[in-house]
Amino acid sequence: MPEEQNEPRKRRRRPVAQSPAAPEPAAPQTPAEAPKAAPSRRETQRRETPKSEAPKPLRVTADTAEPDWVVPSAGIKGAAERRVGTKPVEKAAPAKAEKAAVRKTAEKKTVKAPKSPRAGRSITLTEAKKAPPVRKKKKKRQTRKSGAPLRRILLGIAGAAALIAVLVVAVRGGTQLLDIKRTLDSGENVFYGNLYMNGIPLQGMTLDQAAELVTQQVQNQIGAFSITLHTQDGRSWSITADDLRMQFNTADQLDQLWSIGHTGTSRERYEQAKALEEEPVSRYTTLTYDLSSVNQILTQIKKEIDVPAVNAQRIDDPEAWPPFAYTDDVPGQTLDITGLNEHITEMVETLTSGTVELTPTPVAAKVTRSELEGQIVKLSSYETAVGATSHEGRFTNIRIGTEKFNHLVIRSGEQVSFNKVTGKRTEANGFVEAPEIAYGEYVMGIGGGICQVSSTLYNAVVNAGLEVVKRTQHSLASNYVPKGQDATVSDDRLDFVFKNSTSAPIYIETQYYKKKNYWYSQFTLYGRPDPNGYSYHLESQIREEIPLPEPTYRPDRSMNYVVYTDQTYQISKGEVGYIVDVYLVTTNASGLEVSRELAYTDTYKAVAPQYYVGVMERETN
């Protein structure tokens, strides 16, 4: 058919983007050719397809022409515009004519001539008939005549096989061309199958229909889009598409989907459409939005949610001791908008509406009440039992001496003199007469019993880890503290002095109280805890005991106890003496002993028993 008749009618179409798929070379058109001679036997054998082999799809080559409705341009409109004026297909020759053509073709087959002066030259059977006869043996001539019918039968079979092979190839090629036609027709002015826009299947839709449907979908999604930010206390904020100045564009993605199967040659369009059957293609709407408004909203929300932590404070309180009260620390909270911004951005990009719970992060106060209270702790507490029954003056003196030290504040590095704090033991200062130890024996004196106060304070000071500057033992061992752990005082010459060797103030609290009919004197010291967490106390070990000396006798000249010289009255039982080693023991927070050091050695002398003896001799008869 002339080439001019192959031009299709033109039609107007929407401009589309070119398909990203790489085009394959178009199949060349087959020019009109004269009928070819029947293939030789050898060619027929090469082209013959075994029966067991599966048929292969026909490829359009120079030997197989595309049908006249296939065009190489992108403007195809399908079967509705097939070419017209095509010559009718010639009918196949009758079987007899075909066999004659085969015989005629076989007669023209090239054979070798018998040996002649022109040996080696190939001639046709016609030329062989014209050649001079060659004398040959009868046997050979008879063989040639008897083999001619067999040769003709074989040639006929070969020709028939070749014809069948051609018909098979033609049928296969026609089947594929029909598949190409049906495939291209299915996408005529509509989308092919397995194409999706925002999850919507576009198969069978025109470009305008798809654009309208996708646009409506996106408009509905944007109109319904909202993110609610919610807090546990019931507050909430909303972020809408208007806040984000959200816009969308569906044209660019739809054009990309439309170009699949609608651009390129017929072969390229067919291959693109067939590829969709194996692998669907999806596109999504292009959204634009402004997240700066989200940052502004989150910043405002953060200002409303963030609460600064409140530090604890120590305030003066004269009614408390140590003289402080404490305010509680209050934790704060802060909102992490960095991670929140990332989460909201993800929701915006996928147009996912929903509620986002705002969970602030707790913020601890820099100064807590426990920390402040830990800066002033109880360092030590020591008490001694005064007794249930004793001299009334002794109870009075111990109570006054104990109360003198109550709520005393000692600055860092400051020294404290016991005698200066209590003042002179005089009646003017409230002290009264009571028994006391003087020069190794008990005598009556104003302020008697005050040494129990100084000894109680001494042990509290040592246990608090403070430095002892001056301390003197009693001449006789006391019964209210362990031996070697007493501190005697007197107005004129003996004093107990200690120093605040810590870097913080020391606060002393005292109590004189009664428990189960017993009176007690108690000293409690507060201050900064030991940097190593250590605790201290004294331990006494008696190295040697000194026995009682011989008794001493004192004449009772006033005759208050005895009259006659053979009469005695015991004034005192005497005191056994001691040599005592005193150790300072250091323990850690777990109560394990860290060190044990000999602090000093005290010696308490032995005191002989004392008796009164009468001064008058008895009369003898």
Burial 179-204, CB ≥16 within 10 A → b, else e: ebbebbebbeebbbbbbbbbeeebee
Q: Is the pLDDT of residue 42 over 70?
A: no
Residue finishing a domain among 506, 529, 552 = 529
Mean pLDDT of 163-176: 71
- Tell me the percentage of the chain whose pLDDT exceeds 90: 52
Same domain for 481 and 361: no
Domain boundary among 186, 205, 233: 186
Evaluate whether residue 85 is within a structural domain: no
Tokens of 13: 């179409």
What is the number of domains present in the chain? 4
Separation between Cα atoms, residue 388 and residue 301, nearest integer Å: 71
Tell me which H or E stretch contains 141: helix 138-186
pLDDT digits (tens, 9 = 90+) for 442-455: 678 899 999 999 99
Tell me the C-alpha distance between 344 and 358, whole Å. Answer: 12
Q: For residue 465, give both structure tokens.
A: 């880890």
Could you say which of 137, 160, 186 is where a domain stops?
186
Could you tell me the two tokens for 364? 């601890």
DSSP string of 160-192, one letter each residue: HHHHHHHHHHHHHHHHHHHHHHHHHHHTTTSBP
Looking at per-residue pLDDT, the higher value among 474 and 102 belongs to: 474
**Percentage of residues in the chain with pLDDT exceeding 70?**
74
Residue 22 domain flag: no
Amino acid 509 reads: E
Please determine, for residue 581, whether its predicted confidence score (pLDDT) is greater than 80: yes
Residues 227, 355 share a domain? yes
Residue 268 lies in a domain: yes
Q: Is the pLDDT of residue 288 over 50?
A: yes
pLDDT tens for 200-243 read 999 999 999 999 999 999 888 888 999 999 988 888 999 999 98
414 and 292 together in one domain: no
- Residue 557 Ramachandran class (φ > 0 left, ψ -120 to 50 alpha, else beta): alpha
Lowest average pLDDT, out of 7-21, 172-186, 435-449, goes to: 7-21
Domain enclosing residue 304, as ranges: 191-374
Give yes or no: residues 557 and 584 share one domain: yes
Instruction: Note whether 365 and 410 are same-domain residues.
Output: no
Domain-located, residue 591: yes
What confidence category does residue 171 fall into, taking pLDDT thresholds of 50, 70 and 90? low
